[in-house]
Structures are given as C-alpha cells and as structure tokens.
Chains A and B, each alone.
Chain A
C-alpha cells in the first residue's frame, strides 16, 4: 500500500529524518513510535506531501505519491484545528468537497458518523459551542468522512476520555476489517499493543526497530514468568532456592498472590513448576513478555547510551 524508501529530511543542519524506510501493507494498523522530536510528525508530513523530503521516495500502491493520491488519504494531525465559527455540518461539507465527494455522499457519510457516535444534535452546532473533546471527535469524522484507503492519525487518542479512546479504537479496528490501512503515531503503548499489527520505532531521526508487535515482544523475552498461586509467600520463596529469582509480587488476597520470577542458569519453565508443586497451590502460570512500553524505553535508552 505505502512504500517509504530511504527518506532523508534536514532542517538547517539538523536531520529530522535520516534514511528512513518503511512499508505499510493493505489492511493493517501500523504504529509509528518514538519519543518527542524523533521525526514522526516530519515523516507523516512527508507522506501527506506537506513537506518534500531532501532524498528518498514515497510510493502509494506502487506509484510515486502525487497530489492526486491525497484524496485517498485521511489525515488527523497532532495539533487539531477547526474553524471556530463554522458548524459541524459546514466542516463536513467543506472537507468532503476538498476530497472530491459529492454533496449527497457527504450528507450520507455525515449522517452515518453522527449516528455512529450518537451526536446527531451537534450537526448545526458551531465549533466554539463544543468542548475540546467534542471538537476532536468532529475532526476525526472529517478525517474519515471520505472513507480513505490510508488513514494517518497523529496522536489520535490524546484529548479523549477513556470511553472515547475505546470508541475510537473500536472504529479503527472496524475500518481495518474493511480493508483500510491505518498509520498511527502515538505514545499510548497500551493502544499499540491492543490494535497495532506492526510497529516501527523512530529515534533521533533514524528507524531503530520495526516488526510485528508479538514478534518484537518475543525477540525481547528475558525468561520471566508469572505464577498465580494460593499459599504463603514464604513457602513460595523457600521453594525457589538459587535457580530462580523473585522479581516482583502482587497480593491478590490473604493467601493469593501473583509472583514474577526470572530463570537463572539453564532452568526452564518446567523446572519452575516442578519446584513449586507441593509448596504452593498453582492456579495459573505464564511467560511474561516485555510490554511495548518497556521495549520502547529500553530501545531509546540503549540508543542514547551508545550515543554517549
């Protein structure tokens, strides 16, 4: 769907993007991660043809990305803005027309989304009559109104309450099911784990990691397991001896705990279960994979250490 090849962009002497390549497949949700100032927004602007790269190309469905392709792209920028004195409906007609929609199509699409979000009463409201969160929703509608093949969302969850974050996530998953491709730039790692198929991490203008969420987590596994048990914590610790290391514990009740344990030496998960059986009553046990949050922090701090 979208091929980003060796994009480099410099502002004055500082590189905003340094030889970044990415590939987005049709019908996937792709997470673009990175700390502030890493170059995510620059990359998104390059994809939207808002700025031109110094080097590199962007291909949309095999063709070099041109102005004509932009009507197939929906964009929700990080810094939101609407015309304060225009109504919700007027915004829909304005942005819909710019993306080549007919008035009938715009009306139908607007009806659909207003019903979907149960905000029919907002239709004639001016933006300055809406709260910030409400305006964000209107902007989301304006970005998806023309059913773009590629939807680019820069921090789509910021400014939304948890209920609306879930609502937006649900919509994105449904759009993905309809074959739409979605690129999300976000700091919300939980959302990344929940809805992204693949991610790329950009740091200091370079891409330092790319892959499926599950594969990245697998590749970063450190032999850490969680055991949910009934018994005493002393009994649990005594059973571990020197082959395992207790990292953390969570108290669920008077005699119920979840303990996180790391393997030492050549010990395996089976060995852990063997030593625990009899000492405590095991209710569940599973391997703990690093969260995207941890992967993100590790990757960024490692890169910074190397830089030093």
Chain B
C-alpha cells in the first residue's frame, strides 16, 4: 500500500506540473461560467398578463390574496371544487389562464397544484407562488400560532406548488433541474474520459520507455496500477476543486451584480421588471441543492472513476503500442457515450423500467443518479441512491481485481498485437 502511495504521489506531481493541467484548470471553469452567463442572458423573459382562478371550496383563503406589486395578474375566487376537465373545456372558465387548486389539505401537506393553459413565464410562476404562499402564511400564522406573519415566515415549511398543463395534467416534460443533473453527470464522464486517457497514456509511456520493468521489480503490478489510478484520480479531484472554486466565485459575482435575488421581497419589484431574471437564473440560484449535489457528485465521481479507470489502466497494460490501444479504446468510448445517453433517456423517461436498470447499472449509474438527484428522488425512495452507489462500489472492486490480472500479465508484453483470446487467458490466470 505504501508503494502504491509513492507511485500515486509521483503521478500526482507529474500531472500537476504539466502545462495542460494548468490550462484546463483555468480554461474549463471559465468556459462553464461563460456558457452559464449566456444561458442566463438569453433566457426567456416574456411579459404576460393573466387571469387566475383560485378554487377554494373551504374558503381557506377568505377570497383574499396577498397584495402584490405585480398588476399583471388578476385573481378571482371560486367556492366550488372545479374538475380539471371542466376548467380545460368548460365555457365558464375560458377567460381564465390558470386554475389554482386550494383544498383543505394544503394546511397540512403544503401542496398545491396550478393548472395552466399556456406555460407561464418564470416571472408569472414566481409571482403566483409568492402571492399565494404569502397569503397562506398569514392564514396559518393566525390560525395555529401566536406568531406574527413575519415571525412565522422564518420557521415555515415552503409551499410545494406544482404547475401542470390543464389539457394534459399527467405530462412529464423534462425538468430543467434534470438538465443540471445531466450536466453534472456529463462533467463526471468528461473527467473520467480525460483522466482515464491520462492513465492510458501514462501506462503506455512507461511501457514504451521500459521503466515499468524496474517498477515491477520492486512494486507488485497491482499496487503499481492502483497507485497510478489513485495518483491521476487525485489530480482530477484537484482539477475539480479548482473548477468548483472558480465557478462558485463566478456565480456569486453574477448573483451579486447582474442576476440579483428574485425571491427576495426587497428585490421582487425589481425582478419582475428586470429582463435579467429568468428560469435559468432561478434554476441555478434557487432550485439546485448544490451542497448535496456536489457531495454526491464527488462520491459517484470517485467510485465511477475507479470503475472506469481500471479499464483504462488494463487497456494501457495489455496493448503493445499506443496505436494498437486505440482500436480497443473505441468500445470504451462507446460505453462512455452510452452512459451519457442513458442520462438523457432517464431525463425524458424517468419512470420507465429501463430507467431503473440504468440507475443501477454500474456503467451508467454515475450520470443517471446525478439526473435523478437533481430532479429529486420521490419521498421515501432516496435509499435507491445508496443501493446504486453500493453496486457501483462492488463493481469497481471487481473490475479493479480483473484489471489487476490483465495489468500483471500484459505490462511486460511489448510490441505485440493484442488478441481477445489472450486477454481471456490472462484473466483466467492468478
């Protein structure tokens, strides 16, 4: 283990000292920040004027709404329970753009549905949510506590308001949050590919300059392989850390200057008129739980990297030359692309059985879990994440063990063409 660490530290020093590492550490996050800025700047920001009907059969809202600064929404109240189909096609309701359902359960479960005819703009969504939630807070504070509405707001549970298409309430359009998950998953795979290639090149180079013969005369080939994977992996973590710091500082800077907090009441008036606040801004600054996302990202990145890193190391060891390795690299790249596709698939078809398979399959788990994590696991199903992690971890150790066999047998084979038959023979050996 000590020798693996020595190998890892040498590898880490070499990586960090390379020019490409420094360039990637600076250019990568700046590129991500630029793209984020572009998304923010180009985000849709249409102004709408809506008539909203609030169905409140129990009279919870007392036909009142929080007086808002936004005059673009006109609220009406109905004391009946309104079927969605009636709202969608009934003549009486055609003047209304949206129906807000407020039933008696809202007091306990804080869940409300909004059925729209046309998808609301972000400002519209924010305002409807803001005004109904504020009114609800007043009611709850008065009914159940002796607190003022302002004090109550400090300890309240947020209202879960789901916006659904009145014509197709079951529609599951891909959520923007899911795209962020896919972005995280893609970052995992981009890092795995880039640093996996670094492992491959490093092993090939040690083979071609024959230094590997001295190394394996002192270090067990498995320890050598592990040291190499860990060393390159640590450099990937450092790279990621630099990315995280630069991107965080950049996002904070944007938040404080260009895209100010639209949820803050102090800024609400400004945000409703600002052209800068849109759904991307809301997504990045409000809806993504970065702390947990980054934590799980690191976990799945680490284990996913071990899983795929072992493939790259074994590939480097069994191939006779770098050009020979390229033909075996193609299936591995195809596998990585397939993993990215699986993330896209789950984003659009989250409830299918195949999505479940992709969630647990070690090849695809890192990206799929990121997507599901960003969208949010349904209540009580969060344990699935840990099962997926466990499967990935066990698979990573299994692959490391098999890759160790290939590494041991292939590392001193020079200038030959690899045959699958030989690879299977090496796998059978101890």
Q: A residues bordering B, Cβ < 8 Å?
A: 45, 48-51, 67, 70-71, 73, 75, 77, 79-86, 94-95, 97-99, 139, 142-143
Tell me the minimal C-beta distance from A90 to chain B in angstroms. 8
Give the residue of B3, B10, B210 whose beta carbon is less than 8 angstroms from that of A81: B210
* A81 adjacent to B6 (CB under 8 Å): no
Cα distance A86–B211 in the bound complex, in angstroms: 13
Give the residue of A45, A81, A97, A99 whose beta carbon is less than 8 angstroms from that of B211: A81
Please give me the residue from chain A that is nearest to B429 by CB atom. A52
What 0/1 pattern do residues 217 to 230 of B give for CB contact below 8 A with A? 11110000000000
* A50 adjacent to B412 (CB under 8 Å): yes
* B216 adjacent to A98 (CB under 8 Å): no
The B193-240 residues at the A interface (CB cut-off 8 A) are 206, 209-220
Please give me the residue from chain A that is nearest to B215 by CB atom. A98
14 contacts across the A-B interface (CB closer than 8 A):
A50-B213, A50-B217, A70-B217, A75-B217, A75-B218, A79-B210, A79-B213, A81-B211, A82-B211, A85-B14, A85-B17, A99-B218, A139-B214, A142-B214
Cα distance A83–B228 in the bound complex, in angstroms: 14
Q: Which residues of B contact A85 (CB under 8 A)?
A: 14, 17
Give the residue of B17, B215, B412 whose beta carbon is less than 8 angstroms from that of A45: B412
Cα distance A82–B7 in the bound complex, in angstroms: 14
Say yes or no: A95-B214 contact (C-beta < 8 A), given A50-B412, A86-B14.
yes
Give the residue of B7, B214, B218 whose beta carbon is less than 8 angstroms from that of A71: B218
* B6 adjacent to A98 (CB under 8 Å): yes
Cα distance A95–B213 in the bound complex, in angstroms: 13
Cα distance A190–B117 in the bound complex, in angstroms: 97
* A51 adjacent to B214 (CB under 8 Å): no
Give the residue of A48, A79, A80, A84 whose beta carbon is less than 8 angstroms from that of B217: A48
Tell me the minimal C-beta distance from A93 to chain B in angstroms. 9
Cα distance A50–B220 in the bound complex, in angstroms: 8
Q: Which residues of A contact B220 (CB under 8 A)?
A: 67
* B218 adjacent to A70 (CB under 8 Å): yes
Name which of A77, A139, A143 has the most chain B CB atoms within 10 A of its CB. A77
Cα distance A77–B212 in the bound complex, in angstroms: 10
Tell me the minimal C-beta distance from B214 to chain A in angstroms. 6
Tell me the minimal C-beta distance from B7 to chain A in angstroms. 8
Give the residue of B3, B211, B216 whose beta carbon is less than 8 angstroms from that of A83: B211
Say yes or no: A49-B209 contact (C-beta < 8 A), given A97-B6, A98-B3, A98-B6.
no
Q: Which residues of A contact B217 (CB under 8 A)?
A: 48-50, 70, 73, 75, 77
**A-B contact sample (4 more), CB < 8 A, given A50-B217, A70-B218:** A50-B216, A95-B218, A98-B219, A143-B214
Cα distance A142–B215 in the bound complex, in angstroms: 12
Please give me the residue from chain A that is nearest to B207 by CB atom. A81
Name which of B10, B209, B218 has the most chain A CB atoms within 10 A of its CB. B218
Say yes or no: A83-B14 contact (C-beta < 8 A), given A45-B412, A51-B412.
yes
Please give me the residue from chain B that is nearest to A86 by CB atom. B14
Tell me the minimal C-beta distance from B361 to chain A in angstroms. 36
Name which of B14, B209, B213 has the most chain A CB atoms within 10 A of its CB. B213
* B412 adjacent to A81 (CB under 8 Å): no
Q: Which residues of B contact A83 (CB under 8 A)?
A: 14, 209, 211
What 0/1 pattern do residues 267 to 296 of B give for CB contact below 8 A with A? 000000000000000000000000000000
* A82 adjacent to B213 (CB under 8 Å): no
Q: Which residues of A contact B412 (CB under 8 A)?
A: 45, 50-51
Please give me the residue from chain A that is nearest to B409 by CB atom. A51
Q: Which residues of A contact B3 (CB under 8 A)?
A: 98
Say yes or no: A77-B210 contact (C-beta < 8 A), given A45-B412, A98-B3.
yes
Q: Which residues of B contact A139 (CB under 8 A)?
A: 214
Q: Which residues of B contact A75 (CB under 8 A)?
A: 213-214, 217-218
Cα distance A115–B126 in the bound complex, in angstroms: 76
Tell me the minimal C-beta distance from B404 to chain A in angstroms. 14
Say yes or no: A98-B218 contact (C-beta < 8 A), given A45-B412, A83-B14, A86-B14.
yes
Cα distance A75–B214 in the bound complex, in angstroms: 7
Cα distance A184–B160 in the bound complex, in angstroms: 79
Tell me the minimal C-beta distance from A260 to chain B in angstroms. 44
Say yes or no: A94-B6 contact (C-beta < 8 A), given A50-B217, A75-B214, A86-B14.
yes
